[in-house]
Amino acid sequence: MQLTLARHPISEIQLNGPTRLEGTTLFVDVDGLRQVLLADTRLEGVDIDAVRPGENCRAGPIFDVIEPRAKESGLDFPGILSAHGTAGIGTTHVLEGAAVTVLDGGPHQGPLRSILEMSGPAAEYSAYSELQHLVVTPRVRPELARHIALNATHRAGLQASVYLAQAGFGQALALEETYESVGPAEPGREGLPRTAYVGQFYSRQYSPEADEQILYGSNTEGMAPMLLHPDEWLDGAVVPSYSAALGGAETYFYQNSPVITDLYRRHHAGELNFVGTVATIAGADNADRDMNCQIASNLTRWALKADAAVLTKYGGGVPHADMAETARLLEGMGIRTAVMVSDLSRDRRVESALLFNFPEIDAIVYLGGNDTSWTVPPVERVIAGNPQAAEALAVSQEFAAAAIAGVSNQQGAGRLMSAIY
């Protein structure tokens, strides 16, 4: 497998058509995009806005954030937008510096979470505050069931990202980046530590909807851990579930996985041998956990023949424990592990933060957590999925780190750091 990313830098989004790329400015035909999205008869309308870095603006609640990407072959988000095929092969055009930010236009439900903060003290800790955003709010027909509304919202965001990225077809590139094939049998890597990535992308503590498209369009029901090529993660095979805000991962961070891209960097630098990835999920109960952890560790040991592994989780406490158990099993097989954890405590005590205490798991990267918060000022502009959210977002208030999209990121892309004092 070989994936090439054809990168087009974006410094500005202008909402006037036709949709085209002129230098680093992306022009968007709003009516044209709306017509594409409204071909889905589940939608009765679509709101489209543009937001720039530093703007005194707040938006939410976010359903997903997607980097605009498209293939001239048309194999975009296979199993969802296109026929089944293998992601991670060929050339994908990328609008770097831009994002399609999809808001949940459904009724207000509970406290606000997953907010786009474009200015102020909290914005400094989210990479999203530095992007040019096309904010898309699909308006689903009110008589439809909630899971149908979420499926339509999901599809609209992915379609919008492909529509924008097609503006890069035939344009000059700023950078062409190729991820060459890696795997457990690649020759010429003798003597280098064989390193794998074991990544969760769903937690079965939440039962998936039948139409919840997570892995190649499937909802993961009945799935066991499996091997995925790293390029599949980067190229649309995996997207977040309907509960993405709980997982701390948006499509953007699968497309730009910090763990996978850094393992690639070190692989090409000759520092390690990146042998592949295991895609796994957190279990619904103890029996499910034991099975998943055993399969994931066996794949890492016997299929990838790894010497070391990096592990990340998806979600809260249950995935936290599953990741730790997988790491414990790997350590017992002689495979050194490094795990990424978020702090689940609310009392700022280290003893409350980890949820596990295995002496053999001694390489732990802290990603920040619930104890960090900011008092944010009122904003001049609000983009909201519903009137209640608009009212709540406009005023000064305290936001925890987990409420700001891109801060409490389980994939290692956050900017919070721990300090001993």
Q: Which amino acid belongs to residue 326?
A: T
What are the pLDDT digits (tens) for 283-320?
888 999 999 999 999 999 999 999 999 999 987 778 88
φ, ψ at 154 (rounded to 5°): -60, -50
* Residue (of 34, 29, 31, 35) closest to 16 by Cα position: 29
Q: What is the pTM of this model?
A: 0.95
pLDDT above 60 (res 245): no
Residues 6+ apart with CB under 8 A from 186: 273, 275
Q: What is the pLDDT of residue 149?
A: 96
What are the pLDDT digits (tens) for 356-405?
889 999 999 887 766 788 999 999 999 999 999 999 999 999 988 888 99
How much is the mean pLDDT over the chain?
Answer: 91
Please give the residue that has the higher pLDDT: either 200 or 249: 200
Question: 364-369 and 336-343: which strand pairing?
Answer: parallel
pLDDT above 80 (res 419): no
Q: What is the DSSP string of 214-245?
A: -BTTB--TT---EEE-HHHHHTTSB---TTHH
pLDDT category at 277 given cuts 50, 70, 90 is: very high
What are the pLDDT digits (tens) for 1-52?
899 999 999 999 999 989 999 999 999 999 999 999 999 999 999 999 999 9
Summarize the confidence of residues 329-350 as an average pLDDT. Answer: 84
Quick check: 112 and 190 in contact, CB under 8 A?
A: no
Token couple for 203:
């937690």
Q: What is the pLDDT of residue 353?
A: 64
Quick check: 28 and 125 in contact, CB under 8 A?
A: no
Greatest C-alpha distance within the chain: 61
Provide the 10 A C-beta neighbour count for residue 404: 28
Q: What is the pLDDT of residue 393?
A: 95
d(CA 224, CA 293): 10
Strand-pair partners of 94? 7, 69
Residues 6+ apart with CB under 8 A from 222: none
Looking at mean pLDDT, say which of 132-136, 184-188, 211-215 comes out highest: 132-136
pLDDT above 80 (res 246): no
Strand-pair partners of 277? 197, 228
Summarize the confidence of residues 190-216 as an average pLDDT. Answer: 91
Q: What is the pLDDT of residue 420?
A: 64
Straight-line distance from the first to the last Cα atom of the chain, in angstroms, rounded to the nearest whole number: 47
Token couple for 68:
């605009």
